[in-house]
Structure 1
Amino acid sequence: MTAKKAPAETTKPHWRLRAARHGRRLARDHWRLVAAWAVVAVIAVVTASQLLPGRAPSETPTGRADYAIVVGIPGLRWGDVDREATPTLWELASTGSVGSLSVESAASTTCPLDGWLTLSAGSPATSDGRLVDGACPPVEPESVEQASENASAYVNQLELIANTNRQNQPGVEIGSLPGSVRCATGVGPGGAWAAASPTGRVDRYSPVLPEDPDALADLLSECVMTIVDLGQLPAEDADRDRALELADAELARIVESRPDESLLMVAGLSDVTAAPHLHAVIAHGGGFDGGWLTASGTGREGYLRLVDLAPTVVAALDRPMPRPFTGVAAAVVDGKSDDIPAVVAQLADVDAEAAAQQDAIMRFLSILTVAGLALFIAASPVLHRIRRGAGTHHQKPPTVWTFRAVVSAAVAVSLTLPAATLVDFVPWWRAEHSMIALMAATVVIVLTLTALVLMAPKRRSPMGLMITVSLVGVVVVAADVLTGSRLQFDGIAGYNALNSAGNAGLGPLGFGVFAASLMMAACCAAQGLQRHHRAVLIVLAGCFGIWIVGSPYLGDDPAGAVGLTVGVCLAAGMARGGWLTFARFAWASFAGLGLLVALSIADLTRDEAQRGALGGFMADLFGGAGGGRVRETLEADVLATVGNPLTVLLLGSILFAWVVLLRPSGGLKRAFGLYPSARAGFVGAVVATLLGGMLGGQGFVPVGAAAVITMPLALIMAQRSLARAQVRDGGLEPADLEVSAQPESIDAADGVTVESRG
């Protein structure tokens, strides 16, 4: 007998061999996705290294001052400045540098005491005060106790308020401004609060300005910095005019007695009622001898924030800048007209526009929410009738006019936010009934855009119509951002100067519109390409979008850029087919994390004054204050989500998709089976806007804006896919539903056409 050979012993390949084989298999099967992500990473690094530095002012004051005098007139607006009634203010505006002041503080309404404390801290602070019958209470003179043995004083409760701000808002140090100059004089109760140290001590104090000019000159030159409270302006017109005359007369005495080589700043430090406004700010001397006031923190000519006043004073006095300051020193930009009446009228109009936008935005979004929900409700029975029109029940299908009405209404809703961006070309805020003027102008623009879209080529094609509608959002927002975001600023679909003077790029609504429109346009266009070419088109469009959103010279939204990166990577991976998987989301998240790291490193290499929000967050994180910033972002997410009507529309969109569109009679599953790239566009749009909003403290606002774009498009896709199915089954004629007899080429380049009947 021959002995049987023992079976050869099998050994597992070495782990390095297995890893190499796995890597080769990944490179062979997924090289296009890897290449797409590599392109995104390269573009992200270039964008981060070349475009991340914040906007630097065009010109900075070269002069320095030996003294600084800050005069606060809470409630002062440019509409109060008049050649006859306030000649001193008019003269200072003529010869000095001017701008609009956003008085945002840590309080929901910045009352006078909040304004004085924010000036003292150089950071948003609050007194935790309350409005009385819708009006701000004045600063009580009794809160300041003057020492009997010398000219100093003590501010009651300031130490307690300073500790509360320090505890609730890490990094806010009340008393940073007077501490930076060592000797500060306070005049009036508000001046005492702003000039006091963290313990409440005021170096020099006078309840009122001395009547004797020599005594006034001595008071203004006793310390290098003097902070003067000229009183809060009343809200009523009659009392307000009298208070303005008295304040202007006192200001004239300060101008006459001010020391040589001094900087004089006059500012409306706060609101006086619950209705917010932009306020007047004038700087004279110390290099501020004309032009527009600006700061790198605002990125816009003619705008300052309340937190920028303290750094401006310290920089003019050439003192070391305290670290707790969150503002930046003001600079001067040329271009102010010599026609002072026109300048004052322009600044007053800016305030009127900001106040009108603040009052109209929520009502506008509420009307848009109702319109979107009404569209969903009206479209549900139409989809049901299309599905059953050729069935055994022989239910009468909807007429061609019903079909057209639903498509037209969906297109109109989807174009509402781009139209709201364009509506600022019309000065609706100047009308007597501004809300009516706003709605009328918006309706006209929406109808015009809708008519143009419905007359475009391939309008009967689901992909063609979706590309056209999406391109409107991309072109409108991108053109605005590339030309300076003029329509975003104080725009209905943008942000408000009253609380976003430091934002010079995309607002949450603008980001939602742009990201969703870009994803849908790119992915729907990619549907007509061969499968292995789709990712290339999506990535190229995504790189353009990341540049628009992430560049601080353009969109200035690093959180949005990260979210868009993840959305682009997901869409590129899903464009060839398949659904959202954990592996795809993980790889896309790695790409977004890489972009976040690149942006953070580039921002941290900049000077502290030039850093953006991302660099400031990372600096706080490494410095141990990151927990507070994370908490602030989460709180901002909650407030933005709860306080915005688009949250209701987002919830209604989810319900409509789940109960109607994704049901067998809804047609969306069928449409997703027919058009995998369009499905990738929907997923990419949702992920990009959701991540961008949550990381940027904007909550669900961007994804709510994206729902305004994407849900009407999903409705059009579902309706036309159902209609075409009935035509192909022979139950209906093409003319009955205004669709072509043959479906679009789905994957003709691959030789396969697949239609899902689910």
Structure 2
Amino acid sequence: MPRRLARMVPSSEGSRLAPFLVAAAVAVASIVALVARPATTPAERQADYVIIAGAPGLRWDDLSPTETPALWQLAARGSIGALAVRSARGVTCPADGWLTLGAGKPALRTGIRAAARPTGTARPGPTSPGRSSGAAPTTPPATTAPPEVDSAIGCYLGNTEVFSPDSIGGLLPDQPTVVSYNEGLTWGARPGALAESMRCTVAVGAGAAVAAARPIGRVDRYAAALPADPAPLLRHCVLSIVDLGVVAGDGDVRRFAVREADARMARVLAARPPGSLVLAAGLADTDETSRLHVAIADGPGYAGGWLSSPSTSRSGYLQLIDLAPTALAALGKQHPARLFAGQPANRTEGRPDDLAAAVRRLADADREAGAQRDVSGRFFVGLAVVALLAVALAVPLLRQVRRGIGPRGPRAAPAGLRRAAEMVLIAIALAIPAALVAGLTGWWHTAAPAWVFLVGLLVALTLGVAVSVLSPARRHTLGPTGAAAGLAAVVVLLDVLTGTRLQLNGVGGYSALEGARYAGLGTVGLGVFSAGLLLAAGCVAQRLPRRWRPACVAVLGGIGVMVVGSPYLGTDAAGAISLTAGVCVAAAMSTGGWLTVGRLSWTVLAGVVVTMGFALLDLRRPPETRGSLGRFLTAVQDGTAAAIVRRTNIDNVAMMARSPLAWLAIGAAVFAFVVIPRHWGGLTRLFAIYPAVRAAAAGLTVAVVLGGLTNGVGLTVAGAGAATALPLLVVAALRVLAHADERTGAAPPTGEVLPEPDPPEPAVPEQAGPPGDTVAGRPQPAAGHVLP
């Protein structure tokens, strides 16, 4: 608030309380805003029969009106979506896909090849997939390796040697061992949970037998192939699971497999009972990379739309673990959260009238997700390396940027070099937002997607740096830092407000192939948004009178908390709570000084109140639509919270070991402990002159560290925040040091409104800023005077 406006406020107890009243009002408004939610009407899904037809490997680019007429007609009548098939490993082989379908949770059939170990040796656990599946196993029980592997897909499917059919059904003798093995994994899946929820199930084919087997291994009704008249078999039980065959390979081999699967689907559709729901799914991968697959639902409540579920909250996307709850809900049965991790599929509007256009959109989503997987890894490794290298190279510049004392003192670094370093550092800070913006080019459609993405990234970075260094506040010491931080936060904010289209399958966002998130604010976006928001709030608050700084930080931070925690915007309750903690710390320290006992008490109290508010709002929602906080509290009630905590801890460790952003976070911590305490580091001087910036740095550190740990991604959020904040803090430190020994030539221009002065900081004997600047809220002295 300008000084002339501050003079209009009467000096009374009410005026002193005004900033705190404003902050409280914003906090209340942030929580109240989360109550409103668009009304949703659940679709009527009651069916008499459910048929799940699985074709591992079937993708949307395999379908066409001529090659797959049965599946094409099914898609025209029903609702369609892209199916993410993550199980308990990175790439889901057919055996794991069938087992996950029957378990309703990510499951693993081990996929051990026949070359084997002798009886009694332990099966090795899978590679930890990190947060996306959370399935790093504990030590599994000893068991005998399966005797045979399908060489085409490298994954055990089952055969007559281990599956023993009889005149009615059959027995999968190793099923109890598989159940025991999966109960030792962090997901705690129970294979056979879907069949156990039914009085009777039918399985057609070896893969279907894996999905339909009960925990003891019994398959109620089994047929190796579809009979000449499948109608009586499909009417025998309310749930039938049909193996349409594996779609693998390329060229003519793949086309032949697709036509075979479509021919079997045509026979199933011709014999389907009246009032039945048919679910067609490409429920596994058949090569070395994960892909998005076909998902079609045709039956009561699923006519002509997109498929979605509360587990994805994104139209057109479904998870493999959603199929079992969908079947149960269609038959009017409950799906206990203890047994099933997914949610029943819903039909949503917005599908194009032209089925070919809708299919192209889903196939394009698969291409984009695949391209994002290939490019994002190199992007984040490059970002971590460049950021750490740039910050390291900035150390000698920090030592030389300040002009030496006396005529024979060391010469300062050239101003041009400093300005070039500032632009490079700003570009690094804006790299992740620029990667999101580059998604507007549709780079994954091109023949050279990586190069087109690089061109789009460079163009976006050029525009972002230009906006930051040419902003109206560029003459202020904190001008470029505040402008770049605000720009980073605004890019993420606009994407969230428009449906996070840039983050889904975007470099700098999250991939649908990982199965971790499909809508809302991702973990990388949370780090960028938290760091940019709090750093920009600190720069803005520094220009205000001291008593209004906590209110400024609270207002901007409250808006951020509302965006992050809103169930139809950011959808990240854990991130909102961590951001709340950071905002409280920043607001408490923004007037100067450190966290006293009183400030810490109010900070903790505010964090507890906000957390309770989020918890109560989340628990008021239906169980299937609750967020991570509500699901955790529900798990505490039913005794399954220990598994969630265990899975989160394992995910944190896994992500710390393999995430490039975690390396960046560790490098930033080393820089903070090595450079900041030094008298030449510049950050000590920066924090002393601008206490609101110091408060912002402390608050964003709390926010990003807590955000990563509570979301189970280790230091990924902290790394994204460091990539944004650390270069900008170095920019501000360079500008402070460059003007530390300058003498001003004139007093501030006539009529300029200056903030209310702060009392001097005795611990810092010399504090200065560039001409026309304000230092810690104090006006510049008259000509010929050294800044105090």
TM-based fold match above 0.5: yes
> Relative to 1, partners in 2 of residues 1:648 and 1:170: Cα closer, same or farther, differing over 3 Å?
closer
Structure 2 counterpart of 1:71: 53
Amino acid paired to 1:123: K
Query: Which segment drifts farther, 437-446 or 377-386?
Result: 377-386
1:13-412 aligned within 5 A: 38-39=24-25, 42-43=28-29, 45-47=31-33, 50-51=35-36, 60-129=42-111, 136-142=154-160, 144-148=162-166, 150-169=167-186, 172-210=189-227, 212-213=228-229, 216-323=230-337, 324-387=339-402, 389-390=404-405, 394-412=409-427
- Partners of 2:648 and 2:152 in 1: CA distance: 29
Contact 1:33 1:572 (8 Å CA) reproduced: no
> Relative to 1, partners in 2 of residues 1:632 and 1:273: Cα closer, same or farther, differing over 3 Å?
same
- Partners of 2:417 and 2:324 in 1: CA distance: 62
Contact 1:674 1:756 (8 Å CA) reproduced: no
1:678-717 aligned within 5 A: 678-717=693-732
Structure 1 counterpart of 2:569: 554
Contact 1:114 1:126 (8 Å CA) reproduced: yes
Contact 1:670 1:755 (8 Å CA) reproduced: no
1:647-726 aligned within 5 A: 647-726=662-741
Query: Which segment drifts farther, 646-655 or 689-698?
Result: 646-655
Residue 504 of structure 1: how far off its partner (Å): 1.5
Structure 1, residues 163-208: CA drift from partner, whole Å, max 9, x if none? 2222334653322212222110011111011111111101100111
Pick one of 748, 756, 777 that aligns with 1:747. Answer: 777
- Partners of 2:780 and 2:544 in 1: CA distance: 10
- Partners of 2:91 and 2:420 in 1: CA distance: 45
The answer on 1:415 being equivalent to 2:397 is: no
Gaps of 5+ in 1: 1-26, 731-738
- Partners of 1:681 and 1:144 in 2: CA distance: 62
Amino acid paired to 1:253: R
Contact 2:322 2:343 (8 Å CA) reproduced: yes
Structure 1, residues 468-523: CA drift from partner, whole Å, max 9, x if none? 11111121111111111111111212111112364411001111111111101111
Structure 1, residues 648-689: CA drift from partner, whole Å, max 9, x if none? 222222233333343111211111111001111111111111
Contact 1:565 1:588 (8 Å CA) reproduced: no
Query: Which segment drifts farther, 62-71 or 510-519?
Result: 62-71
Amino acid paired to 2:568: Y
Residue 88 of structure 1: how far off its partner (Å): 1.5
- Partners of 1:593 and 1:114 in 2: CA distance: 42
Contact 1:528 1:745 (8 Å CA) reproduced: no
- Partners of 2:270 and 2:202 in 1: CA distance: 18
- Partners of 2:103 and 2:153 in 1: CA distance: 24
Residue 368 of structure 1: how far off its partner (Å): 1.0
Structure 2 counterpart of 1:515: 530
Residue 742 of structure 1: how far off its partner (Å): 5.2
Structure 1, residues 586-623: CA drift from partner, whole Å, max 9, x if none? 54233222222222222223222122211111111122
Amino acid paired to 2:76: S
Structure 1, residues 94-120: CA drift from partner, whole Å, max 9, x if none? 222110011122223221121112111
Amino acid paired to 1:225: L
- Partners of 2:553 and 2:274 in 1: CA distance: 63
Task: Tell me the percent identity.
Answer: 39
Contact 2:781 2:787 (8 Å CA) reproduced: no
1:395-474 aligned within 5 A: 395-474=410-489
Amino acid paired to 1:331: N
Residue 640 of structure 1: how far off its partner (Å): 2.1
> Relative to 1, partners in 2 of residues 1:570 and 1:416: Cα closer, same or farther, differing over 3 Å?
same
The answer on 1:644 being equivalent to 2:654 is: no
Q: Secondary structure at the match of 1:280?
A: strand
Amino acid paired to 1:421: L
Amino acid paired to 1:277: R
Give the structure with the larger helix fraction. 1
> Relative to 1, partners in 2 of residues 1:483 and 1:29: Cα closer, same or farther, differing over 3 Å?
closer
Contact 1:305 1:502 (8 Å CA) reproduced: no
Structure 1, residues 58-92: CA drift from partner, whole Å, max 9, x if none? 55432532111111001111011122222212221
- Partners of 1:602 and 1:729 in 2: CA distance: 55
**TM-score for the superposition, normalised by structure 1:** 0.89
Contact 2:106 2:189 (8 Å CA) reproduced: yes
Q: CA RMSD in A?
A: 2.8
- Partners of 1:247 and 1:38 in 2: CA distance: 61
Structure 2 counterpart of 1:23: none
Structure 2 counterpart of 1:17: none
Query: Which segment drifts farther, 607-616 or 219-228?
Result: 607-616
Structure 1, residues 431-460: CA drift from partner, whole Å, max 9, x if none? 222222211210111012112222211213
- Partners of 2:663 and 2:235 in 1: CA distance: 58
Q: Secondary structure at the match of 2:549?
A: helix
> Relative to 1, partners in 2 of residues 1:684 and 1:326: Cα closer, same or farther, differing over 3 Å?
same
Amino acid paired to 2:293: H
Structure 1, residues 213-268: CA drift from partner, whole Å, max 9, x if none? 2xx11111111111011222223333212111111111111111222221111101
- Partners of 1:421 and 1:257 in 2: CA distance: 48
- Partners of 2:599 and 2:59 in 1: CA distance: 54
Residue 641 of structure 1: how far off its partner (Å): 2.1
The answer on 1:604 being equivalent to 2:590 is: no
Contact 1:262 1:285 (8 Å CA) reproduced: yes
> Relative to 1, partners in 2 of residues 1:165 and 1:627: Cα closer, same or farther, differing over 3 Å?
same
